[in-house]
Amino acid sequence: MIASKIALAIVWTAIAICPVRAESGLASFYSGGRTASGEVTGPAGLTAAHRTLPFGTKVVVTNLRSGKTVVVRITDRGPYGRGRIIDVSRGAARELGMIDSGTTMVSIVRQQNADTPTSIGEALLKAVQLLDPPR
């Protein structure tokens, strides 16, 4: 039991001190439809396709030319265009100001989950609480 508490504490600590994932590169946009996650999205939704981020992950996408930002939820796989890091929905593209150009340079930063600890102490406390709940 003690070993599993220590192991979980180590995992939560690793999560707490890992940097939030960030990428920069070319973005394009799409109109919507059936996605790899099984959802059907419309052009007005704030969704995106990414090759590796889990479905449901929220990311902040920033247009590096204009500074405009939008929060999108990953619902699909892609992009399949060479050199692109994310495909955003038409609604997100409108927010980013990239409808006319079709593509733009962006940075994407994964949003921190509210349940994710932000310090080592918080991670250890959460690990202990999970393994030894109050009775």
Our CA dihedral for 72, 31, 33, 69, rounded to 10 degrees, sits at 0
Helix axis angle, 120-131 relative to 2-17, nearest 10°?
150
Q: What is the 3-state secondary structure (H, E, C) of 91-135?
A: HHHHHHCCCCCCEEEEEEEECCCCCCCCCHHHHHHHHHHHHCCCC
The whole-number pLDDT of residue 71 equals 97
The whole-number pLDDT of residue 74 equals 96
The whole-number pLDDT of residue 107 equals 96
Say if residue 20's pLDDT is above 60.
Answer: no
Q: Is 103 exposed, middle or buried (0-12, 13-18, 19+ CB in 10 A)?
A: middle
The whole-number pLDDT of residue 126 equals 67
Q: What is the pLDDT of residues 53-64, one digit of tens each?
A: 999 999 999 999
In the chain the domains, ranked by start, together with CATH numbers, are: 1-19+116-135 (no CATH), 21-111 (2.40.40.10)
Q: What is the pLDDT of residues 30-49, one digit of tens each?
A: 988 899 999 999 889 999 99
The whole-number pLDDT of residue 112 equals 73
Q: What is the pLDDT of residues 115-130, one digit of tens each?
A: 655 566 666 666 666 6
The whole-number pLDDT of residue 119 equals 60
The whole-number pLDDT of residue 118 equals 55
Q: Is 61 exposed, middle or buried (0-12, 13-18, 19+ CB in 10 A)?
A: buried
Structure-block tokens of residue 112: 């921190």
The whole-number pLDDT of residue 22 equals 84
Q: What is the pLDDT of residues 47-106, one digit of tens each?
A: 999 999 999 999 999 999 999 999 999 999 999 888 899 999 999 999 999 999 999 999
